[in-house]
């Protein structure tokens, strides 16, 4: 058998090979990024909570504070909750985002007129509205003290362009949302808000709903599998090219 060089076929094969190898290398890079992310989140979420004001100041200064445990003494405004569509353990329902006000003196770097939204957690459809869960409406205790909210700091996230078309439109008129955007919630409620929010651990809420502590901390990591798939396809393409180019001699 002898190898028969085919210029057009070779060019097409090289282009395809370059694309497949590039995709494999990209998945290897994503694998490294995902492993670093998982390690960072695991270490960060196991730390003791710090004052929200300190974490927010560090975020304003450019530090990555996503998933940092924080705490703050806050007053809920239950009448102006925002409802974000979602699921939990296979149940369809809503995540309850409530605006809150600081009990203590407002930090200098926090707009005195701005509220801080807190994601109180998940509630099924039947418990979407605050009137259906009166036992969850937190207020001051018998001594007039408001609860300390403990949770994870969440910061604005960019939605990848290829997924934007898959997200349904928000419906501010019905207070039904599909994106977690405190600034949009506040605009609809005629409030001013900070761009970050807290995912509450739910420790301040004795009721069943909303259920706090629902932050997703397990990340899908199949990048090694994807990388091997792309590299395998590259080898397959090369093998097909060689087999097609070998010509049996008479």
The rounded distance, in Å, linking the Cα atoms of 95 and 212 is 9
Would you state the pLDDT for residue 163?
A: 57
Domain boundaries, the chain: 1-61+218-250, 68-200
Contacts of 234 (CB under 8 A, 6+ apart): 17, 20, 21, 24
Would you state the pLDDT for residue 248?
A: 59
With 90 as the cut, is the pLDDT of residue 41 above it? no
pLDDT tens readout for residues 225-247: 888 898 899 889 988 888 888 86
Burial of 143 (0-12, 13-18, 19+ CB in 10 A): exposed
More confident residue, 62 or 158: 62
pTM for the structure as a whole = 0.72
pLDDT tens readout for residues 157-210: 776 555 566 778 899 999 999 999 999 999 999 999 999 999 999 888 878 899
């Amino acid at each position: 058998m002898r190898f028969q060089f085919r210029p057009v076929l070779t060019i097409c094969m090289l282009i395809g090979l370059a694309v497949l190898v590039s995709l494999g290398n990209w998945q290897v890079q994503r694998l490294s990024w995902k492993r670093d992310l998982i390690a960072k989140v695991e270490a960060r979420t196991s730390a003791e909570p710090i004052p929200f004001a300190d974490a927010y100041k560090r975020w304003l200064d450019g530090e990555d504070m996503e998933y940092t445990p924080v705490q703050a003494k806050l007053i809920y405004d239950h009448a102006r909750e925002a409802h974000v569509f979602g699921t939990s353990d296979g149940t369809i329902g809503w995540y309850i985002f409530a605006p809150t006000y600081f009990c203590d003196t407002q930090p200098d770097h926090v707009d005195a007129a701005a509220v801080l939204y807190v994601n109180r957690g998940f509630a099924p459809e039947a418990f979407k509205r605050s009137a259906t869960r009166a036992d969850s409406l937190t207020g001051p205790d018998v001594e007039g003290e408001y609860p300390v909210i403990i949770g994870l700091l969440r910061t604005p996230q960019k939605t990848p362009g290829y997924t934007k078309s898959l997200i349904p439109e928000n419906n501010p008129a019905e207070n039904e949302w599909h994106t977690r955007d405190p600034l949009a919630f506040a605009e609809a409620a005629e409030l001013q808000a900070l761009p970050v929010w807290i995912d509450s651990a739910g420790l301040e809420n004795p009721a069943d709903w909303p259920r706090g502590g629902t932050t997703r901390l397990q990340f899908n990591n199949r990048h090694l599998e994807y990388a091997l798939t792309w590299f395998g396809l590259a080898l397959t393409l090369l093998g097909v090219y060689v087999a097609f180019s070998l010509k049996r001699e008479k």
